Amino acid sequence: MKAQFEHEKLCVYQDALQFVTWVTPLLEALPAELAARDRLDCSSTSNVLHLAEGYGKRSHADRCRHFDLARAAMFECAVSLGVLVAKKRLPAVEAARGKDQPVALVAMLAGLVSRFSGNFCDEQADYEATSGTAHLVGQDND
Residue 130 lies in a domain: no
The reported pLDDT for the residue numbered 3 is 65
Q: What pTM, to 2 d.p., does this model score?
A: 0.78
Task: Report the distance separating Cα 49 and Cα 133, nearest Å.
Answer: 19
Domain hosting residue 72, numbered range: 7-118
For position 61, which CATH number holds? 1.20.1440.60
The tens digit of pLDDT for each residue in 72-121 reads 999 999 999 999 999 999 999 999 998 988 888 888 888 888 888 765 44
- Are residues 50 and 66 in contact, defined by beta-carbon separation less than 8 angstroms? yes
Q: Is 141 helix (H, G, I), strand (E, B) or coil?
A: coil
Residue 133 lies in a domain: no
Domain count, the chain: 1
